[in-house]
């Protein structure tokens, strides 16, 4: 117990702990620097790839291809975008169920939706993880509970990615350019690793039986088997719906499985690059992997339309939701203060 631990006022006993803390801080600092350098190196490589394609791009053809997108395809893409954002918002309901916090379901869904829309477009610019903490803190949720909700949301997102990506990279990997370090065999190996990770997660959920796991001094309670299967199902549907938007906007001319595998490869590339909205990364990967099947101008036109329906439109809706929620909180506070004065 902390209260029973004697305090050391002398300098001798405190030095080993201080030295250990300094060593740990230096190690963390080096690791952060290494990750930052690797991210910038990756981003530089992607920038070169995008610039090379941009210089060759027939931009009038892009405009023409964008204008040729059928209204019915745009409408279907919008429906799929709404479904994907709705599915992602339910990830916070999994955290609500697991942590048993008492925020109403509509409010929890609103936080999940607003957070996802803002982070898709701005990422680190809005504070990433901290943005969700601020949203939940406004409704009185403790940081410890929010951290568990966040962990479950992230876990839900990526366990579905591992299932869909693992199956597609194993069975239907995209054709990788000859000058890339990855080959079809390596992608299949990655697919096996991802599927193994899903199986290991399910096994851990089965064996944990509600017990908490401890890692780096923090405890985390794994969900039960049914909830884990629900995580995988919701997340898989989310990734398939998001990839389906690009498939629809490409006019269905490329096999859906191939479009989805390229979409998943672009998603992980964007996550590594840490570029807001994955600008340039998504386009570069799609052009590199599908340029043999569809012209670059058509790919770019489809991705511009995808950004409009999946990034910008939900961002506008999320902004309205955020403003309305803040206004409603001000009204409630004003009513409470007037009751107190009365």
Tell me how far apart the alpha carbons of residues 164 and 87 are, in angstroms, rounded to a whole number: 16
Domain-embedded: residue 11: no
CA distances from residue 102 to 88, 93, 97, 106 in whole angstroms, order as listed: 20, 11, 9, 11
Does residue 249 sit within a domain?
yes
Residue 303 covered by a domain: yes
- The answer to whether 274 and 119 are in contact (CB under 8 A) is no
- Predicted local confidence at residue 255, as pLDDT: 94
Q: Is residue 18 part of a domain?
A: no
Q: What is the pLDDT of residues 206-250, one digit of tens each?
A: 988 766 666 656 677 889 999 999 999 999 999 999 999 999 999
Q: Is 339 within the bounds of a domain?
A: no
Count of structural domains within the chain: 1
pLDDT, tens only, 256-275: 999 999 999 998 887 776 66
Query: pLDDT tens digit string along 279-297?
Result: 778 888 899 899 888 888 8
Considering only 61-65, 96-100, 187-191, 308-312, which range has the smallest mean pLDDT?
61-65
Interval 16-32 mean pLDDT:
60
Q: How high does pLDDT run on average in the chain?
A: 80
- What does the pLDDT average to over 302-319? 89
Beta bridge mates, 139: none
Q: Residue 131 — very low, low, confident or very high, per pLDDT cuts 50/70/90?
A: confident
Four-residue CA torsion sign, 163, 293, 84, 137:
positive
Q: Quick one: average pLDDT of 192-201? A: 96
Mean pLDDT to the nearest integer, 68-80: 89
**Would you say residue 15 lies in a domain?**
no
Task: Return the minimum-mean-pLDDT range out of 28-42, 113-127, 223-237.
Answer: 28-42
pLDDT at residue 156 above 70?
Answer: yes
Q: Is 214 helix (H, G, I), strand (E, B) or coil?
A: strand
DSSP category for residue 148: H
Place of tokens 């386009």: 283
Sign of CA dihedral 169, 172, 178, 183: positive
Identify whether 19 is part of a domain.
no
Q: Which residues contact 93 (CB under 8 A, 6 or more apart)?
A: 105, 108, 109, 112
Query: Most confidently modeled of 59-73, 117-131, 135-149?
Result: 135-149
Going 188 to 193 to 194 to 198, the CA torsion angle's sign is positive
Distance of CA 270 to the CA centre of its chain: 10
Q: Which residues pair with 218 in a beta bridge?
A: 215
Length of the chain in residues, anyone? 342
> By residue range, what is the domain housing residue 180?
38-331
- Rg value, the chain, Cα: 23
pLDDT score recorded for residue 42: 47
Greater confidence (67 vs 241) lies with 241
pTM for this structure? 0.77
CA distance 12 to 310: 59
Cα–Cα distance, 257 to 247 (Å, whole number): 9
Query: Euclidean distance between the first and final Cα of the chain, in Å?
Result: 46
Beta bridge pairs of residue 220: 213
305 has pLDDT over 50: yes
Contact 220, 213 (CB under 8 A): yes
Whether residue 4 lies inside any domain: the answer is: no
Q: Half-sphere exposure (CA, 13 Å, Cβ side) for 103? A: 26
Q: What is the DSSP string of 183-202?
A: -HHHHHHHHHHHHHHHHHHH
């Amino acid at each position: 117990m902390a209260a029973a631990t004697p305090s050391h006022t002398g300098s001798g006993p405190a030095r080993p702990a201080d030295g250990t803390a300094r060593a740990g801080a230096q190690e963390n600092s080096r690791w952060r620097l290494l990750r930052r350098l690797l991210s910038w190196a990756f981003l530089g490589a992607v920038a070169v790839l995008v610039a090379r394609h941009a210089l060759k791009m027939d931009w009038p053809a892009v405009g023409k291809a964008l204008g040729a997108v059928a209204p019915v395809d745009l409408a279907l893409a919008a429906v799929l975008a709404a479904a994907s954002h709705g599915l992602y918002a339910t990830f916070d309901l999994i955290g609500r169920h697991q942590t048993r916090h008492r925020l109403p379901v509509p409010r929890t869904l609103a936080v999940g939706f607003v957070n996802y829309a803002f982070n898709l477009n701005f990422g680190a610019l809005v504070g990433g993880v901290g943005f969700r903490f601020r949203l939940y803190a406004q409704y009185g949720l403790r940081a410890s509970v929010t951290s568990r909700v966040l962990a479950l949301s992230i876990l839900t997102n990526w366990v579905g990615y591992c299932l869909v990506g693992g199956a597609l990279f194993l069975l239907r990997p995209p054709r990788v350019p000859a000058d890339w370090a990855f080959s079809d065999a390596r992608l299949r190996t990655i697919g096996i690793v991802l599927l193994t990770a899903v199986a290991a997660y399910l096994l851990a959920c089965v064996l944990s039986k509600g017990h908490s796991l401890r890692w780096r001094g923090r405890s985390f309670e794994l969900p039960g088997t049914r909830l884990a299967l629900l995580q995988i199902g919701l997340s898989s549907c989310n990734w398939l719906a998001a990839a389906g938007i690009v498939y629809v906007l490409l006019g269905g001319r490329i096999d859906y499985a191939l479009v989805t595998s390229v979409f998943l490869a672009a998603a992980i590339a964007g996550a590594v690059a840490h570029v807001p909205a994955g600008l340039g990364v998504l386009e570069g990967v799609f052009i590199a992997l599908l340029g043999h099947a569809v012209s670059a101008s058509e790919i770019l036109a489809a991705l511009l339309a995808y950004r409009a329906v999946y990034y910008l439109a939900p961002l506008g809706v999320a902004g309205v939701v955020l403003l309305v929620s803040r206004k409603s909180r001000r009204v409630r506070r004003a009513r409470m203060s007037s009751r107190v004065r009365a």
